[in-house]
Structure formats: C-alpha cells, structure tokens
C-alpha cells in the first residue's frame, strides 16, 4: 500500500519565487530566509518521496470568478507554470500522478467531500514556490506532484474542521492504494499577512508561533478555531493557514517527529512559517 | 433571516464574500483580462475606452482610473484581481499595499522590516483627513 511518510508546511510568498528567479537570494534582505530552508533542502534530498500531494491556493491565475471550486484535485499528467501577468516562472513543468489522483478523488468523494476534478490547470506561485524552496533550482522536479487547490479567496472558505477531516479522508485513500508509493503531503500559504485595505501589513508573530505549536501538538483542537480568529489575528490573507490543517489531518494520529521548524519576518508583506513533520515508523 | 457575518466589524478590512463578489464581478473580470499582453496594451492606450467595454458601474471605473484600491475593494474588488492593475502599471505589490495604508512605499517597507503592523495598532484610512 502507499504511505504518507511526512508533511511539509510552508508559506508560498510570490516574492520568494521572484528572488530566486532573478538571482537575488544572496542579498541581505533574503539571506536569512533562504538560510532557514537550507536544512529543508538537505532533509528533502534524504527523504525524497515518489509523490507530493501539494495543498495550495490559486491566486486568480487558473481560476477567475468564472468558477470557484472549494476543493480542486489536479488529475492531469502535467501542469504548466501559470503566467501571472509578468510571464510564467522559469521553473519546470509539474508532472502529475493521474492514477493516484484519480484514486484519491474516487475515495474521498465517496467519503462525502465533493472535490472538483480538474484535468487542465496552470499552477501559480502557490504551488511552485514551495517546490523551489525544498527542491532548489532544478531542471526537472524530482518527483510527481498532485496539485490540490483550495478556495481561500472568496468567502466562505472551508472551515479548519472540514480541512482537518478532509486530510483524514486523504490519508485513508492513500493507504488504500495498492502500489507501495512513498507520499508526502504539503500544506502551504500563510502565515499572518494582510494584503488589502488600510490594515495591510499586519503581522502577528505571537499568534503564528502558537499556531505552529498547536499544529504539532493538538491539531484536532486547533481545527476548531473559527474563520473570524484567523482574520482578526492573522490578517485577511492569514486565512490561508486552514490549508495546513489538510496536511496535518493526513498525518498519523500518533505524535509526529519535528524534523525542522523555522519562522521569519518579513518576506515582502508576509510572515514566513515552515515546519517538517515526520510520521513515526 | 440574515446570515451570520461577524467579520464585518474588523477595522480596515473588507472580507471578499459572496455579496462583495457579486458587486465586483465585472470589476474583477476586467482585472483578469489584464493577464493578456494585448489587453494590457489596449488598456494602457486608452483606459477609459477599455473600461467602457465592461458593464462596470461608473464609480468602479472612476476608482480604477484613480488607482484608489480601497475604493475598488469597497465596490467589490478583490486584491488578487486588483493586483493585476498594479502589474500592468509596473508597480510592485508593496507599492500597492502602501497606497491603501496612507504610507509611502518606503515607510511601509520599513514597517515590514521592523516586524510588520502590530496587532491592535491603530488603522488609518488614507482617505480620512488627519
């Protein structure tokens, strides 16, 4: 059977991708951020999976207001980097895993989570920045990736509780897959940030770090936090953090091993948070 | 019976809910059209004429022409869509964010380097007189 071995959580700030693509990662502004991901790249090399199930959100790139799926699973063989208005990021095309994606859709929909199946979709910085942070600048991504896009742009977005339970359904689906694949699940977005209105620029270091503590130690209770608290405490775009609960819900019920933890302010307008959790063997 | 919308009272923050999305549908789809280079060129050549191709309200068109992002948001715009206007103008996201807070880009960038806007600190709408 396939197994979820680890989960990775990280912010997906577009400016991080731009810094890498434009060769600015050595600048003083960016050095501390990329230093925080050096252990992650070493960890990833040593723990390379067959497939990454990558939870992220689209930022008005693949989905306009024409259609707004709450949960969209990418079932295609490949996904091109999106042109977000200044040309696509110069990163490899993302290769999917259509068989596992279709299997997860089949299982999770029958568990009452109404996924939208997407067979054609470009992927934006929400998906490619986390890959760059963990894999570095590469000619090919080292494994298959199943994109899983969550609507966190138009309210109401899914609750933390629903995301956590969806993660559990994804875990069950993966464990029912016959081929012995090593699967990682990544939850991306956040941490505190607000990109709009007179309150733009909000950062809440204390709340963010408590979120990291609770994600490790008591994710089921963290899943009860209502939308309003995310918006008030972590800013209007801090709501992206509900996506981390999908990845956490997909982990074993036993306490995880914390392989790496990192927090940094700022990356452009955003607080950057990062965790790597391994399932105990 | 009214739906529960407890997020209406957060200062300096507009939640892009179904009601705002309905109000701003054409405004946001106009922004989305700027993803195509040829549309960006047409918009830049004659902004008013390009906006007149969209069934947007006069207030929405004026807010776009004035690059008043706070007003655009009030009228149903969403920041991820509105950011495409800034990209068309060649502006950084920090420029756009600063413009909504009444700070210069330098002041805003300094605030972020110093750890960002502290929770609970005062929020000032730049359109209100000091």
Q: Which helix (H) or strand (E) holds B9?
A: none
User: How many other C-beta atoms lie within 10 A of the C-beta of residue A174?
Assistant: 22
Cβ distance B6 to A228 less than 8 Å, yes or no, reads yes
Q: Looking at the complex, report in whole angstroms how far the Cα of residue B80 sits from the nearest Cα belonging to chain A.
A: 6
Q: What is the mean pLDDT of chain B?
A: 93
Using the predicted structure, report yes or no on whether residue B130 has a pLDDT greater than 60.
no
Percent of chain B with pLDDT over 90: 83
φ, ψ at A34 (rounded to 5°):
-70, -30
Cis amide prior to B5 (ω within 30 degrees): no
Instruction: Report the residue of chain A nearest B32, measured CA to CA.
Output: A64
Interacting residues of A96 by C-beta distance below 8 A, sequence separation 6+: A74, A75, A76, A77, A78, A79, A144, A145, A146, A147
CA–CA separation, A73 and A55 (whole Å): 9
Nearest to A60 among B32, B88, B102 (CB): B32
Nearest to B116 among A154, A202, A231 (CB): A202
Interface predicted TM-score (ipTM) of this complex, two decimals: 0.94
Nearest to A198 among B34, B115, B126 (CB): B126
- A17, HSE (Cβ side, Cα atoms, 13 Å): 22
Is the separation of the CB atoms in A68 and A47 below 8 Å? Answer: no
Q: Looking at the complex, report in whole angstroms how far the Cα of residue B10 sits from the nearest Cα belonging to chain A.
A: 7
Bridge partners of residue A118, in order along the sequence: A74
- pTM beyond 0.90: yes
Please confirm, yes or no, whether A193 is among the known catalytic residues: yes
User: How many other C-beta atoms lie within 10 A of the C-beta of residue A164?
Assistant: 22
Using the predicted structure, report yes or no on whether residue B48 has a pLDDT greater than 70.
yes
A145-157 pLDDT tens trace: 999 999 999 999 9
Q: Looking at the complex, report in whole angstroms how far the Cα of residue A262 sits from the nearest Cα belonging to chain B.
A: 16
Report the DSSP pairing between strands A51-56 and A144-150. Answer: parallel
- Helix or strand or coil: residue A221? helix
pLDDT band at B129 (very low <50, low <70, confident <90, very high): low
CA–CA separation, A218 and B64 (whole Å): 45
CA–CA separation, A251 and B43 (whole Å): 48
Place of tokens 């391994």: A278
């Amino acid at each position: 059977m396939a197994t979820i071995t680890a989960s990775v959580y990280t912010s997906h700030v577009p400016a991080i991708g731009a810094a890498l693509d434009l060769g600015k990662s050595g600048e003083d502004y960016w050095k501390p951020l990329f230093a925080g991901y050096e252990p992650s790249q070493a960890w990833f090399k040593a723990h390379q999976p067959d497939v990454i199930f990558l939870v992220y959100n689209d930022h008005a790139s693949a989905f306009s207001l024409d259609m707004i799926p709450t949960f969209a699973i990418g079932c295609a063989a490949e996904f091109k980097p999106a042109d977000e208005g200044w040309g696509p990021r110069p990163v490899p095309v993302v290769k999917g895993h259509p068989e596992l994606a279709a299997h997860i859709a089949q299982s999770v929909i029958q568990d009452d989570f109404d996924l939208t199946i997407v067979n054609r979709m470009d992927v934006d910085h929400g998906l490619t920045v986390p890959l760059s942070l963990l894999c570095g600048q590469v000619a090919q991504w080292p494994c298959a990736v199943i994109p899983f896009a969550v609507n966190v742009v138009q309210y109401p977005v899914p609750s933390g509780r629903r995301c956590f339970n969806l993660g559990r359904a994804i875990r069950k689906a993966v464990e029912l897959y016959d081929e012995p694949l090593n699967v990682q699940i990544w939850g991306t977005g956040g941490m505190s940030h607000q990109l709009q209105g007179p309150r733009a620029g909000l950062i809440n270091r204390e709340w963010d770090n408590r979120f990291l503590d609770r994600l490790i130690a008591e994710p089921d209770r963290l899943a009860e936090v209502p939308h309003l608290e995310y918006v008030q405490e972590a800013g209007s775009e801090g709501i992206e953090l509900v996506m981390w609960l999908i990845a956490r819900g997909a982990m074993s019920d036993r306490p995880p091993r914390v392989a790496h933890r990192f927090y940094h302010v700022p990356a452009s307008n955003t607080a950057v948070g990062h965790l790597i959790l391994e399932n105990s063997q | 019976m009214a739906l529960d919308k407890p997020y209406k009272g957060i200062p300096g923050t507009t939640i892009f809910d179904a009601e705002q999305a309905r109000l701003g549908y054409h405004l946001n789809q106009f922004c989305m059209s700027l993803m195509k280079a040829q549309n960006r060129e047409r918009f830049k050549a004659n902004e008013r004429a390009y906006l007149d191709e969209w069934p947007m309200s006069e207030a929405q068109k004026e807010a776009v022409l004035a690059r008043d992002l706070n007003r655009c948001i009030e009228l149903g715009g969403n920041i991820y869509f509105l950011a495409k206007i800034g990209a068309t103008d060649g502006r950084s996201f920090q420029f756009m964010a600063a413009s909504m807070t009444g700070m210069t880009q330098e002041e805003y960038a300094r605030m972020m380097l110093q750890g960002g806007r502290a929770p609970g600190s005062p929020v000032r709408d730049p359109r209100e007189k000091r």
